[in-house]
Amino acid sequence: MKALTLTQPWATLVAIGAKRIETRSLRTDYRGPLAIHAAKGFPRIDVFAWYTLGDCVKGELAAFDIRSFAQIEQLPRGVVVAVCNLLAVHEILQNHTGDEWNIMTLDGRKHTWRLTTEERAFGDYSGGRYAWLLADVQKLAVPVAARGALGLWDCAAPELAQEA
């Protein structure tokens, strides 16, 4: 299974279904099952950074009882926290205020992604970047230890195949 490593709290935001669009500087032709891995390292964030996080980010985390910087530091790291499907990748051509993407899957299911205030707070929508559209997110009941990597990488954990 392919995997994508995100730092915390972004990996948890994907796992809980709050973040459905991952923005990246690179595109990929890959589509299909994707493991969401929480990086082992922690970004240089401090108490001041917690207070400057957008209210949207803090609000989504608070809904899952994560209300402080200390709790963010305790989020799982070095593990796969969810599996999902990467359905599409769209180039961001400009400041995409109010944009909407509709994708029809091969089995006839329709998915809609809207750039809500919350979703905008979770990514970098600068022109020239790419929006990776994630669907069917399933948070793992028990995170699976894995070593991450930059970009898409192959995750060999057999227990993840059952989740996808």
Closest among 16, 19, 23, 115 to 66, alpha carbons compared: 16
Judge whether residue 49 has pLDDT over 60.
no
Domains and CATH numbers, the chain: 2-163 (2.30.130.30)
Counting beta carbons within 10 angstroms of the beta carbon of residue 156, is it exposed (0 to 12), middle (13 to 18) or buried (19 or more)? Answer: exposed
Alpha-carbon gap, residue 36 to 137, rounded angstroms: 9
What is the biggest distance separating any 2 CA atoms in the chain, rounded to whole angstroms? Answer: 46
State the pTM of this model. 0.79
Residues in contact with 56: Cβ distance below 8 Å, sequence separation at least 6, in sequence order:
117, 118, 120, 121, 122
| CA triple 45-91-146, angle to 5 deg | 45
Cα dihedral 101, 86, 42, 150 sign = negative
Give CA 127 to chain center in angstroms: 19
Lowest-confidence range among 26-35, 73-82, 86-95? 86-95
| CA triple 20-15-51, angle to 5 deg | 85
- pLDDT band at residue 105 under the 50/70/90 scheme: low
Alpha-carbon gap, residue 146 to 149, rounded angstroms: 10
pLDDT for position 8: 84
Alpha-carbon gap, residue 103 to 126, rounded angstroms: 22
Encode pLDDT of 52-86 as tens digits. Answer: 566 666 777 776 677 776 777 778 889 999 999 99
Contact 79, 8 (CB under 8 A): no
